[in-house]
A = this chain, B = another copy of it.
Amino acid sequence: MSELRKDPITGRWIIFIEERRHRRRHLPHQYQESPEEQVCPFCEGKEHLTPPEIFAFRRNNSKPNTTGWNVRVVPDISPILNVEKEFKSKGIGIYDTMDGLGAHEIVVESNIHNDNYDSMSIDQIKDIFRAYNQRITDLSKDVRLKYILINKNFRSGMGTHMPFHHPHSHLVAYPFIPHIPETECEGAKVFWNYHNRCIYCDIIAQELNEPNERVIYSNEEFVLIAPFSSRYPYEMWIIPVKHSYIFSGNDSQFESLAVTFKEFINRMNAVLSNPPYNFIIHSSPLSEEFREYYHWHIEIRPRISQVIGFEWGTGTYTNAVLPELAAKEMREVDVKSIDVY
């Protein structure tokens, strides 16, 4: 059971999850990877160790919760939000609360335990994106849900109740629009109201113009850039070139995205020596209101630096690497030619 509480000053929602209380004394430096000998519930043949699957791409008409899949979506065993709930909200004096309605799913990205984006085929990565798309489309039908976030933590010591090595990502559906996407939407709306154009489209236009100094890679469908106001060293964004408000695509677009993704992975691993990293997909809130002025994108954060105290207290980030320099390194690094098929 989780409980949502609204900060009366900033309007931010906080999610309280009592079940995880036993983890509270894990100091950051005490996090350890799961021992290899533990049984991994995400491996093929161990389907009975997860809750029943929500969705999978399966071969040869194999049955749900058996072997024969290449991407599999299951509920998180310790969800931060839960879909089987009434939607109740109440006030306590000056304060507001609501029940922790939502969804929290795990996308198991491969049936191979030590697989990774750099070892996966383009088709496999495409199927991961197609699985995200399927889940977003399905969850969007629940009108109580307001926002869906896809989030990947790779070897980052984050989200540590999961087996570390088996590739997976998280999907969380929220009953409110979280603070950061909301701030982006508001900014995009202000720009739209003034210029009658999407701000992300304008950013792409400026970046694709000479001197292209923050572009790392681009193709007809996607651009990979080090953003002008990067919060973190070597921060990267993947943005669809054509305006598109919600994470979606056809077969050829997802293939293009997978190719762009391989470029990011191979270049980042070469320049930063296989760093831990996170990525998130920022897509439009589910309401139709945002179609014109929001533009979905993937934000990537190599975890090679720590957030310092000022950042925690101010929300102002300090970055020691100019994006022009990061982009130059990423662009010029000698990566093995990428095997697309």
Contacts and interface: CB of A to CB of B under 8 A. Distances in A.
A35 interface: no
A24 B312 contact: no
A238 interface: no
Contact of A12 (B157, B174, B316, B321): B316
Interface string A299-341: 1010111111110111111111110000000000000000000
A85 B231 CA distance: 23
At the interface, is chain A mostly helix, strand, loop or mixed?
Answer: mixed
Contacts of A12: 229, 231, 315-317
Contact of A29 (B29, B178, B203, B320): B29
Interface stretch (A40-48, A130-138, A148-156, A254-262): A148-156
Copies in the complex: 2
Interface stretch (A108-116, A218-226, A242-250, A274-282): A274-282
Interface residues of A, number: 90
Contacts of A71: none
Interface of A: 3, 5-21, 23-29, 31, 80, 92-95, 147, 149, 151-153, 156-160, 170, 172, 174, 178-181, 183-184, 187-188, 191, 199-200, 202-203, 206, 227-231, 233, 275-276, 278, 280, 282, 299, 301, 303-310, 312-322
